[in-house]
């Protein structure tokens, strides 16, 4: 069925957006603005592909992707939390570094056929028409993305540690006065965000396009950043927004095919820009509702913290 195939493609395209955005949501809830998601995602992609090729197992690629993203985030954490550098400038610098370094590391693997992460077929449930293949015949990373949304939502709004993390993001000085270890919590949040970005990158090179292509993240890290704002820092809204943007991404691909079939001369570059144009439009619409934005935005977001000595 064509409809079923389109839905499967949307799920595959949306999964890395949801994972990367969930990691960034936790990071921003801790009051840290990490614009290096794109760089961490592409480093996760190249590490995952290389590990899968060298070991012959995609599971090793998943672990390597997570580790690469977390390691890259540690560099960001050291610069912004320990050396107190500007978070915006540091994130942009790490994105540029990640794009360049990944191209260098991935050069020996360019053009090689990848090791695809196979879907998990759940008996009986996967045989249900339409719903079965969509929900019960998916790869491991898809199920991890759903578990991630549920787990982060529970952690932030149902657990004591989550309440402490949100307190840090809202007022790090008050949290420090109450005895909460602000820097340690922010390091953990940054590492979690980096690990999620690395996992999202692994999905790109092991599932979405099982091969290594330079700059294959193609701006998805920036869309993930926009998703956090779009979702007003709420996990379930990130899930919905991720699938919305994934649908736009897949839609522009089918629009190109339809335009060629009908003989309509629409520049492919214009259609390729649609997901990013949609991102800009959504952010403009959100910016008009300043009250909602101010209520949900962590008050200490992007502000450096230096504990009393």
Cα torsion 6, 8, 9, 13: sign: positive
Structurally, how many domains does the chain consist of?
Answer: 1
Q: How confident is the model at residue 100 (pLDDT cuts 50, 70, 90)?
A: very high
On whether residue 306 sits in a domain, the answer given is no
Predicted pLDDT at 111? 82
On whether residue 302 sits in a domain, the answer given is no
Average pLDDT over residues 84-92: 95
Average pLDDT over residues 104-128: 86
Using one digit for the tens of pLDDT, what is the confidence trace for 148-206? 999 999 999 999 999 999 999 999 999 999 899 999 999 999 999 999 999 999 999 99
On whether residue 301 sits in a domain, the answer given is no
User: Higher-confidence residue: 133 or 146?
Assistant: 146
Domain of residue 138, residue span: 2-296
| Contacts by 281-284, CB closer than 8 A, 24 or more apart | 282/226, 282/230, 283/226, 283/229, 283/230
Predicted pLDDT at 160? 95
Say if pTM beats, i.e. exceeds, 0.95: no
Q: How confident is the model at residue 262 (pLDDT cuts 50, 70, 90)?
A: low
In CATH, what number is assigned to the domain containing residue 47? 1.10.3470
User: Higher-confidence residue: 279 or 268?
Assistant: 279
On whether residue 200 sits in a domain, the answer given is yes
User: Higher-confidence residue: 181 or 278?
Assistant: 181
Average pLDDT over residues 126-133: 84
Question: SS3 letters for the chain?
Answer: CHHHHHHHHHHHHHHHHHHHHHHHHHHHHCCCCCCCHHHHHHHHHHHHHHHHHHHCCHHHHHHHHHHHHHHHHHHHHHHHHHCCCCHHHHHHHHHHHHHHHHHHHHHHHCCCCCCCCCCEECCCHHHCCCHHHHHCEECHHHHHHHHHHHHHHHHHHHCHHHHHHHHHHHCHHHHHHCCCCHHHHHHHHHHHHHHHHHHHHHHHHHHHCCCCCCCCCCCHHHHHHHHHHHCCCCHHHHHHHHHHHHHHHHHHHHHHHHHHHHCCCCCHHHHHCHHHHHHHHHHHHHHHCHHHHHHHCCCCCCCCCCCCC
On whether residue 303 sits in a domain, the answer given is no
On whether residue 229 sits in a domain, the answer given is yes
On whether residue 307 sits in a domain, the answer given is no
CA distance linking residue 59 with residue 262, whole number of Å? 43
Predicted pLDDT at 115? 84
Average pLDDT over residues 249-272: 66
Using one digit for the tens of pLDDT, what is the confidence trace for 194-234? 999 999 999 999 999 899 988 899 889 999 998 998 888 99
Q: Give percent above pLDDT 90 in the chain.
A: 58
Q: Is the pLDDT of residue 260 over 70?
A: no
On whether residue 84 sits in a domain, the answer given is yes
């Amino acid at each position: 069925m064509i409809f079923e195939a389109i839905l499967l493609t949307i799920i595959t395209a949306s999964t890395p957006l949801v994972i990367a955005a969930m990691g960034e949501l936790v990071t921003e809830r801790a009051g840290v603005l990490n614009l290096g998601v794109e760089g961490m995602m592409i480093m996760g992609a190249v590490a995952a592909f290389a590990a899968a090729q060298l070991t012959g197992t995609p599971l090793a690629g998943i672990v390597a992707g997570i580790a690469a993203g977390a390691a890259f985030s540690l560099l960001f954490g050291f610069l912004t939390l320990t050396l107190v550098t500007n978070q915006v400038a540091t994130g942009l610098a790490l994105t540029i570094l990640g794009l360049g370094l990944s191209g260098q590391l991935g050069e020996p693997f360019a053009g090689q056929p990848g090791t695809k992460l196979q879907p998990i077929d759940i008996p009986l449930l996967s045989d249900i028409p339409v719903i079965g293949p969509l929900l019960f015949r998916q790869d491991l990373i898809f199920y991890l993305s759903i578990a991630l949304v549920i787990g982060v939502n529970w952690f932030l709004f149902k657990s004591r540690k989550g309440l402490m993390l949100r307190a840090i993001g809202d007022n790090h000085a008050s949290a420090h006065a109450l005895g909460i270890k602000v820097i340690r919590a922010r390091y953990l949040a940054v590492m979690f965000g980096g690990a999620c970005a690395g996992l999202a990158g692994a999905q790109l090179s092991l599932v979405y396009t099982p091969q290594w292509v330079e700059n294959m993240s193609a701006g998805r890290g920036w869309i993930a950043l926009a998703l956090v704002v779009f979702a007003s820092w709420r996990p379930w809204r990130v899930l919905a927004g991720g699938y919305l943007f994934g649908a736009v991404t897949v839609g522009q691909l089918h629009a190109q095919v339809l335009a060629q079939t009908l003989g309509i001369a629409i520049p492919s570059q214009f259609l390729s820009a649609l997901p990013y144009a949609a991102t800009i439009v959504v952010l403009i619409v959100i910016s008009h509702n300043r009250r909602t934005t101010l209520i949900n935005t962590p008050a200490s977001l992007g502000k450096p913290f230096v504990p009393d000595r």
